[in-house]
Structure 1
Amino acid sequence: MVWAVSDQGAVLRREQGVWNVHATSLGRLTAIWGSSPTDLWVGGENTLFHGTGASPASLTFAPTPIPMGDVSVIWGMGASDVWATVTSPAGARLPSHVLHYAKADASSEPSWQDVTPAVDIDFEYLFGNAETGIWLIGSKDDPKLFARISNVFRRPPGAVEFEPIMAPPDGDEPAIPWNFGRLGRGAVISNTSVVLQGRTPSQEDGLITFGTSSNGGQTYDFRVEHDGLLESLFTYAIAAFAPNDLWTFGEMGQIRHWTGTEWVTAALSVTKYPVVSPFFDVWAMSSSDFWVVGDNVALHHDPSKQK
């Protein structure tokens, strides 16, 4: 069972190798996450819907009034532990929000709560797991650099507040919270390691930042590396399975694989022509079972067909 959403407001369901249009007219949709085939959240342009039903085919979507802007990411660890980031609608300058769907106590029903850290920044992406905690990526304009710079925050397991993460020093410069460059995505590699994908502040070169904990996840040390290409195409999504098994996806049908020693560019085609559509997101169950979606395209990684 695979689900996807579209800019045109459609929710699509794939069963037995066939895509079906499950719902339409929900407004522009850009985010989707589910705890099961019958518990689904979709969001987009000032829109957040909860899909529930007795079976995938009978799922219906009910609007939720909480968005306060455009839902950019939905992610979670269970039916009562769902997270979302909300950004300003196009042309508006409204505060960004971080939302958490959870139970206030053991006897209550889950509900959405605003858990936005008290900092002036646009929150754009989040990820994590039970062992590493919740990681939050945001960005803001730096008037000194004339560039947009990212900050990283983490809510450790068991905590209720987000803490700023100090980026690694850059040469003789000290470690500062906004020295990560311009980040786009992140992923958990293991219970003690994460990876952040982004670019230099000038946006010219791609960067990969590895974060590793040597004390059971209490603190993390970071190292920043170029992603192997100067003036590379933009990368929009990352999947991580091990330190030597990373995949990135982006502009012009770009799919690249980190083997631990080198970046390998995938030669990709679904007809006799190369795929040149941009890829925007990835959903990974394992290194041999993941989907990547983009502009009018959805591809499933099948290692048995690798050449």
Structure 2
Amino acid sequence: MAAAACAGRGTDADDEPLARSDADGGDGSRTPPPDGADGSFDDGGVPVDAEADGADGRVPCSADGWCITPLPSSTTPTSLRSVWADDTGVAWAVSDEGNVFRWDGQSWTLARAGNDALYAIWGSGPTDLWITSATGILHGTGPSSSSLTWTLIPLSELPGDVDTVLEAVGGTSANDVWFAGSRQIASGSARYGVARVVRHRGLGGGGAPSFELESDLSTAELPPVGPNSFKWDKVLGTPTGELVIAGAEARSSGPYAQSVLRRVVEPSGETTWVEMFASFGASASCADYVVTTKRGVTLGMARANRVWLMSNFNGRSTGLAVGTFDSDSRATTWECSRMGTDQYLERSGLFATSATELWSVAAWGRINHYDGTNWRVSAVTATNLPITSDLYAISGAAGTIWAVGRDIALRNVRPL
């Protein structure tokens, strides 16, 4: 492997995961309607049919097309932490409580029950799913999406520091899946970060999945050479082969620094990690717009050569940065803006549906839509009663967007 920019960094300042955050905001140029209003704006191309049936044929949808899809009944809360959808209309969601849920186009069912916290889900296709968990990696395979077999690969059987949990997952194909995580250790008065990035490159001997450590982005030895605090928080890939990894690095004072690296495959086949963004480096044209504290790492959503970054600072979203990567010059051009609408909310999920359209989710059932120029609040309820469930993640495929959170899964059918 070629040497990576920002290689060998560690984690955050405590052992628990950082808050999963992306962001949303607005320029304040439009006063959005309250949830349940007619929402008939002409600037976002958002559906305005308030009479639409819900995803289950019974629950009405909001003016902006958001439909509540009932989850399987449970005596305990269900905190859906991540959602992924394939191109056939099937969706999957994973929970803090350790359960895997499947949407078959009509309803949600419990696909796998568990006890260990699940963090993120990604798939290369309907029958090849990967889930990060507190104890390892879950791999779901089978003859059809409705009959997957789940195999746990324990942390101890994966390369790298066995005590570092892998939380993020993303990839470009069945033979190019990436997992990332970090932890923090103490030695006397010093605190050290341990980073772990693992790649799946297909099946090895005996047909079992094979994994290798990405040494350029992982901590090489324990204890680390020097005190640091770095967390790789997000892995983003596209079907056309683009891959980025994002995280935040603590500094001796002030906010945490962001770093976004893009994978470049050299003609020799070796991998180079090119720095797209460093909020305290030479590329920090958006440094004043994208900064974060320890508990609010910035995440992005990659679509081909574009990356979206949003900040969470002191519990609120303050800035948006859009980066366009030039593969010839290996340089990234950034456009930056301040948030206005709802900047007091810390965003937890981000999803780009085109080069100019973006959605974000946050606490209290808040969904915001960006049309390339303006932000506005999206109506999420079909009644006069607000949705107060916190939303944690947003994703989509095949003309459907999903937003999930605490005891809630919202579905929006629209062109992607």
TM-score range, shorter chain: 0.7 to 0.9
Aligned to 2:201: 102
Distance in 1, matches of 2:291 and 2:278, equals: 9
Distance in 1, matches of 2:142 and 2:351, equals: 30
Distance apart, 1:255 and its partner CA: 0.8
CA shift in 2, pair 1:227/1:72, >3 Å: farther
Aligned to 1:186: 300
Aligned to 2:50: none
Aligned to 1:211: 323
Q: Matches of residues 109-120 of structure 1 in structure 2 within 5 Å?
A: 110-116=209-215, 117=217, 120=228
Matched, 1:198 2:297: no
Deviations 1:212-243 (A, max 9, x none): 23565732111321133474201111111334
Letter of the 2:299 partner, please give it.
R
Task: Output the TM-score relative to the length of structure 1.
Answer: 0.83
Greater per-residue strand proportion: 1
Give the secondary structure class of the aligned counterpart of 1:57: helix
Letter of the 2:210 partner, please give it.
S
Q: Matches of residues 41-60 of structure 1 in structure 2 within 5 Å?
A: 41-60=130-149
Matched, 1:151 2:259: yes
Letter of the 1:198 partner, please give it.
S
Distance apart, 1:293 and its partner CA: 1.3
Aligned to 2:153: 64
Letter of the 2:273 partner, please give it.
F
Distance in 2, matches of 1:225 and 1:79, equals: 36
Matched, 1:129 2:238: yes
Distance in 1, matches of 2:194 and 2:282, equals: 29
> Identity across aligned pairs (percent)?
23
Distance apart, 1:54 and its partner CA: 1.9
Letter of the 2:411 partner, please give it.
H
Whether the 8 Å CA contact 1:167–1:222 is kept in 2: the answer is no
The partner residue of 1:139 within 248, 270, 282 is 248
CA shift in 2, pair 1:42/1:301, >3 Å: same
CA shift in 2, pair 1:56/1:104, >3 Å: closer
Task: Output the TM-score relative to the length of structure 2.
Answer: 0.63
CA shift in 2, pair 1:280/1:89, >3 Å: farther
Matched, 1:22 2:111: yes
Deviations 1:155-185 (A, max 9, x none): 124451323334479xxx9545994412421
Letter of the 1:88 partner, please give it.
R
Aligned to 1:38: 127
Distance apart, 1:266 and its partner CA: 0.7
Letter of the 2:370 partner, please give it.
W
Letter of the 2:372 partner, please give it.
G
Distance in 1, matches of 2:115 and 2:140, equals: 12
Give the secondary structure class of the aligned counterpart of 2:166: strand
Distance apart, 1:271 and its partner CA: 5.3
Task: Give unpaired runs (5+ residues) of structure 2.
Answer: 1-89, 220-227
Distance apart, 1:30 and its partner CA: 1.5
Give the secondary structure class of the aligned counterpart of 2:353: strand
The partner residue of 1:80 within 175, 181, 190 is 175
Distance apart, 1:20 and its partner CA: 0.9
Q: CA RMSD in A?
A: 3.3
Letter of the 1:184 partner, please give it.
T
Deviations 1:20-50 (A, max 9, x none): 1111125111211112222111122132111
Distance in 1, matches of 2:148 and 2:192, equals: 35
Matched, 1:164 2:275: yes
Deviations 1:116-157 (A, max 9, x none): 525752111121336673211111222221x32222222124
Letter of the 2:234 partner, please give it.
Y
Whether the 8 Å CA contact 2:286–2:334 is kept in 1: the answer is no
Whether the 8 Å CA contact 1:75–1:126 is kept in 2: the answer is yes
**What number of residue pairs does the alignment pair up?**
296
Of structures 1 and 2, the one scoring higher in RCO (CA 8 A, sep 6+) is 2
Whether the 8 Å CA contact 2:244–2:302 is kept in 1: the answer is no
CA shift in 2, pair 1:7/1:118, >3 Å: closer
